[in-house]
A and B are shown apart, each in its own frame.
Chain A
Amino acid sequence: MASITIRGVKKNYAKTQVVHGVDLDFASGEFVVILGPSGCGKSTLLRMIAGLEEISEGTIAIDNTVVNKLEPRERGCAMVFQNYALYPHMSVAQNIGYSLKVAGVAAAERTQRIQAVARVLELEHLLDRKPMALSGGQRQRVAMGRAMIREPKVFLFDEPLSNLDAKLRVQMRSEIRKLHRRLSATSVFVTHDQVEAMTLADRLVVMNGGRVEQVGTPAEVYSRPASRFVATFVGAPAMNMLEGTVTLDGLSLLGDSRKLNVSRTGLPVGSKIAVGIRPEAVRMVAPGTPGALAATVDLIEELGAGRVIYVDLDGAPFSVVTSEIVHPEPGSTVGLQFAESDLHFFSSESGARLDVFKASVPEPAPAIL
């Protein structure tokens, strides 16, 4: 168990900077997920914690000891790699026990500890196999065993589930969660998969372009995204985003073609903003219902438990998720309704969240064509 403190960490490759000053604190025993699109610097950050990449600027401390200059083996971290990185010429038992062998642990104790780990991961019958003869899920478990056996202070996961098929991924996800509950070692898990991130994380770190966009619990990140990027990245289908301008009596959307009556926002009239609304928060009503926005149906995706209806709002794409059994004809007109409290406002320039009206009564806002 160990806390991790990251202060002003930057990473440069020659002249390109890929991580631009990151400050984070991970508490002891916490399961932190770093979420971001590929190339956002999340893996680089993880590898800097592991000691596989040099830290260009700033400090990383594990348990209040700065580890910048320490070798990977001196940091007490274990890592699970995306492609598992199992040693192909060693058996499962040798793979799991390699770190003990390097550390000079006696053969008898080694065997015993390998057995113990194998029991937890249900690998006992596979100990003599080579990685080649294992399935993807089994390889994944061996990679976890190799990390577990060292009883590390910190577990690092570098997109460990992305090479698995969908079913196995769900299964391994819950196994990782169970394992964490059991070992309660500080864990840092890097992924680009938001479902993985939401389900695993105690705390979520959303990164973009080498910067941290938001830190918070999965629920916080979902319900109060700190930036336009987080809003559209977290949640599937993505949050609908409409460009708008603040007017005297509300908002005009989509280049003045739609008006939306909302409570006073407190923003100067004429300021450009982006208005976000989650597809789950939109209700579909009969066309012509007072206060509903009229839209044309483009496409319906049937998901069984629900359906995603993609509509066209004066050329802007917009989606609605509904659990009601409705099948509007593509090309037909529908009305869209949502509560004012479900709207998210972001600055058009910086993308930062704007907290505008507080505790306002949601009143149906008539849309005027």
Chain B
Amino acid sequence: MEKRVTFGRWTIGILFAVPQLLLIFTFFYWPAGQAVYWSLTLQQPWGGGNIWVGLDNFRSILANADYWNSITASLIFAGISTGLAMVIALVLAALTDRQLAGSWLYRVVLIWPYGIAAPALAMAFRFILAPEAGFMAFANHFWPGVWDPGLDSADAMASIIIAFSWKYVGYNFIFFLAAFQAIPRSLIEAAAMDGSGVIRRFWDIQFPLITPTIFFLLVINITESFQDSFGIVDIMTAGGPANATNLMVYKIYSDGFKGLDYSGAAAQSIILMLLIIALTIVQFRFIERRVHYR
């Protein structure tokens, strides 16, 4: 017997799907298609036709040292910020799961950062990390010149990594906490009866059982660190100093909308898309094997 609820006529089903299909087409497939088309042509900034150039845009980008520099910066940013955001969130979630004193506070407070728009939090961190007046001014007071994201490229990279990680700690925390709480209490108790201490239990029981969540967050964090970093870079460093924080997503914007090189920017977004796809495939091929799905 057919148990599912079905539409009597297929046209009704289509009608329900139309609004969503329209949205996806208008804001996803059409722009993506345009980007592919533009990356293969030379677009004139003020309109007036275009010239088919084949893969010339890609060749010129990949021959440019600035672009390779941007890829390196993006990979460093993605690696460190994902690592920080996940490790900090994991530790906080593990502590909260143990119901230590004050855990109710983290549970409420740690969810907020993810709700803050990237530019707003970037503005806040710009003040917090300002070398002359912010929190880091103390460090400069004792060791003059030790912190200056406006001049020092490592400091600038550190600033955007801190801001981005801060935002994603909250996001990761929610997932980690949910994963920890999904582990039956009796498993932890059984391990305690088996003589396993707190740290040992974490590595032997809890960690393996939350690997699906770790894997999910790894994919999301890396993807988002390539995309969601734009607002933070734009407000905090604008790609500087000396292109040190000119991440791929920011370079697309500055080349396209400031340099008016629409075709080059379109080609860069295609490369960024391919890079993220490739990274995700790698993660699924090589890391997912170590995941224990229950």
Contacts and interface: CB of A to CB of B under 8 A. Distances in A.
Interface size class on chain A is 20 to 34
Interface string A57-91: 00000000000000111000111011101111100
A147 B111 CA distance: 41
A52 B193 CA distance: 8
Interface of A: 50-52, 71-73, 77-79, 81-83, 85-89, 98-99, 102-103, 132, 146, 150
A85 B200 contact: no
Considering the complex of A and B, which 10 residue pairs feature the smallest CB-CB distances, nearest first? A73-B195, A99-B194, A85-B186, A85-B190, A89-B292, A89-B208, A102-B195, A72-B192, A81-B186, A102-B196
B204 interface: yes
A82 B294 CA distance: 19
B194 A73 contact: yes
A89 B209 contact: yes
A132 B196 CA distance: 23
Interface in B205-245: 205, 208-209
B189 A102 contact: no
B196 A88 contact: no
14 contacts: A72-B192, A73-B193, A83-B184, A85-B186, A85-B190, A88-B294, A89-B209, A99-B195, A99-B196, A102-B194, A103-B195, A132-B294, A150-B194, A150-B195
B187 interface: yes
A82 B185 CA distance: 12
A72 B193 contact: yes
A114 to B, nearest CB: 14
B191 interface: yes
A274 to B, nearest CB: 40
Interface in B171-192: 184, 186-187, 189-192
A147 B134 CA distance: 58
B190 A79 contact: yes
B184 A85 contact: yes
B190 A81 contact: yes
Given A88-B294, A89-B209, A89-B292, A81 B194 contact: no
Contact of B187 (A78, A79, A87): A87
Given A73-B193, A81-B189, A102-B195, A87 B205 contact: yes
A103 B195 CA distance: 7
A79 B208 contact: no
Nearest to A132: B294
Contact of A98 (B186, B189, B204, B292): B204
B189 A52 contact: yes
A50 B193 contact: yes
A144 B196 CA distance: 18
Nearest to B209: A89
Contacts of B195: 73, 99, 102-103, 150
Contact of B209 (A52, A85, A88): A88
A50 B263 CA distance: 70
Contacts of B194: 73, 98-99, 102, 146, 150
Main secondary structure of the interface of B (DSSP, over half): helix
B182 to A, nearest CB: 12
A226 B209 CA distance: 48
A140 to B, nearest CB: 14
With most chain A CB atoms within 10 A of its CB, the pick from B189, B194, B200 is B194
A99 B200 CA distance: 11
A99 B193 CA distance: 8
A52 B192 contact: yes
A102 B187 CA distance: 15
Contacts of A71: 192
Contacts of A88: 209, 292, 294
B288 to A, nearest CB: 15
Nearest to A103: B195
Interface in B59-78: none
Nearest to B195: A73
B186 A83 contact: yes
A68 to B, nearest CB: 16
A329 B183 CA distance: 55
Nearest to A99: B194
A79 B193 contact: yes
A85 B196 contact: no
Interface string B243-283: 00000000000000000000000000000000000000000
Contacts of A102: 194-196, 200, 204
A72 B196 CA distance: 9
Given A83-B184, A87-B187, A77 B292 contact: no
Contacts of B294: 88-89, 132
Contacts of A99: 193-196
A89 B196 CA distance: 16
Nearest to B292: A89
A207 B254 CA distance: 76
With most chain A CB atoms within 10 A of its CB, the pick from B191, B193, B204, B294 is B193
B253 to A, nearest CB: 44
Contacts of B191: 87, 98
Contacts of A150: 194-195
A75 B194 CA distance: 11
A52 B189 CA distance: 7
A129 to B, nearest CB: 15
Contacts of B204: 87, 98, 102
Contact of A85 (B189, B208, B292): B189
Contacts of A51: 192
A52 B186 CA distance: 10
A228 B121 CA distance: 68
A164 to B, nearest CB: 17
Contacts of B196: 73, 98-99, 102
Contacts of A83: 184, 186
Nearest to A143: B190
B187 A85 contact: yes
Nearest to A47: B189
Given A81-B189, A85-B190, A89-B208, 5 more contacts: A72-B192, A81-B190, A83-B186, A89-B209, A89-B294
